[in-house]
Amino acid sequence: MDKAAIPQPPKTPEFSTPHPPVFVNFLVQLRILSVNSTKKFVNNSLRTRKDLCADSLFGFLREQFEKIPDARPHPETSLADALMSGFALFALKDPSLLAFEKRSANETIKNIFHIGAVSSDTHMRRVLDEVPPEKLMPIFKKTLAILQRGKGLEDMVFYNGHYLISNDGTEYFNSEKIHCSECLTRKQKNSKTEYHHNFLGSAIVHPDKKVVIPICPEPIKNADGTEKNDCEQNGSKRWLARFRREHPHMKAIIVEDALSSNAPHLKELKKYDLRFIIGIKPGSHAYLFSLLADKKSVSQHEMRDEKGVHHIFRFQNDVSINEGNADVRVNVMDYCEEKPNGKKQFFTWVTDIPITEENAFAIMRGGRARWKIENETFNTLKNQGYHFEHNFGHGEENLSTIFALLMMLAFLVDQIQQKCCRVFQAAWEKCGSKRELWEKIRSHVHVSAVYGITFFRMADILTTIAQGKIPISP
């Protein structure tokens, strides 16, 4: 597609005419808001972080999508337009492709998301189905690099220069009827076969921070012609190799659930020079639990914090993961948290970080931050407007995976905004919840079409929401 045909944001907002007289006041207000918001939101210490706001990131994604080769022999439409349309669907949190298609003539969408022609439902499915997922995956790393350059990742460092990375598998498509050669399968109780697609999700997390920074997930899928299901362990191997290739120098501690505390996986982590804090369970790690029960050999450390919570740690360093793998050495710790009301919680982990009385608390907090991949990532995608559990489509080749990756990219952009963009933060605060914010953004897009007004930047929509002056409603 000719780049000149792609709408570019003007230096100053412009509005299409004619528009009903009743909205003249709105437009005047909006111009004033734009000026005021520039003063309020840009002339502050976050000026250097404009790369980390929506408009800059949308432009970056468009550039990246332009670089993906179009495998169609005679494409009459732009592949980058279709990818950007898919991204916009998730950025706006539309509930379906059909809901998005209804906005195909919306000038605000075209301008904000740099789309020449917004894809229809069927066109988007057909074009995106043929895109190899591997072409989208490097964009996560490049987006993370923008965050790093903008100093947006520094405060996510957790321990001794290391980031904490939480990994866990989840499902993003299932059906009893629709399937492909890469679908995973499982037998249901009624003996019917259910087909599904999973990925190993991954995010940089921090115990003190609600924001998570997703790293590209690894699809768990069957190779063509194989009947045996691919598994999370294989997906994890591929994820580790890719992570180290993409981030050769990143210091990281991997936090995972007890399924991952096995000798082959711990060897893989060591191979890629990654630290770990991984849960263990009595059923699968009886040997380690027997060591912790031996009062003669364990060290015990207790402390009470300012809230009156009692923390009790027991640990033993340099033991084998089990009796059959004397060469795989770990440090093991159990932990009891007792609240002032008597409520107790127990956790147990293995780690390759030597445990001392000084770092036991930090290791515990790192281990407990594992749940952020479930709560702050998967649950956010499911419950805060992203429609993660909705089947947007399976296609014949890659469609469900492409949609999952575009949704994760939209989530990554949102998390970067949440962390670094003051305009986004102000709009979110005004709305009180993410769901309300997405709703307000969509309603601005909608009314702009109804009344012939065009927004050229997401910053203008967010500023209008943050100022609480929403002068029109449909």
**Interacting residue ranges for Zn ion, rule: CB under 5 A:** 180, 183
**Is the Cβ–Cβ distance between 49 and 148 less than 8 Å?**
no
Per DSSP, helices labelled H in 116-179 are 121-129, 133-136, 138-149
Q: How far apart are CA 9 and CA 38, in angstroms?
A: 16
Shortest distance, position 403 Cβ to Zn ion, whole Å: 12
Give 294 or 396: the residue with its C-beta nearer to Zn ion: 396
Give 49 or 125: the residue with its C-beta nearer to Zn ion: 125
Shortest distance, position 184 Cβ to Zn ion, whole Å: 8
What's the one-letter identity of residue 424?
A: F
Give 86 or 393: the residue with its C-beta nearer to Zn ion: 393
Backbone angles phi, psi at 339, to 5 degrees: -75, 160
Give 367 or 393: the residue with its C-beta nearer to Zn ion: 393
Shortest distance, position 405 Cβ to Zn ion, whole Å: 15
**Dihedral sign (CA 43, 44, 45, 51):** negative
Shortest distance, position 131 Cβ to Zn ion, whole Å: 15
Give 183 or 405: the residue with its C-beta nearer to Zn ion: 183
Give 131 or 183: the residue with its C-beta nearer to Zn ion: 183
Shortest distance, position 263 Cβ to Zn ion, whole Å: 32
Give 143 or 174: the residue with its C-beta nearer to Zn ion: 174
**Is the Cβ–Cβ distance between 202 and 373 less than 8 Å?**
yes
Q: CB pairs under 8 A, 24+ apart, for 331-336?
A: 331/355, 332/280, 332/288, 332/291, 332/292, 333/360, 333/363, 333/364, 334/292, 335/311, 335/360, 335/364, 335/367, 336/310, 336/311, 336/312
Shortest distance, position 301 Cβ to Zn ion, whole Å: 50
Shortest distance, position 84 Cβ to Zn ion, whole Å: 25
Backbone angles phi, psi at 349, to 5 degrees: -135, 160
Q: How far apart are CA 54 and CA 31, in angstroms?
A: 20
Per DSSP, helices labelled H in 78-120 are 79-91, 97-101, 107-112
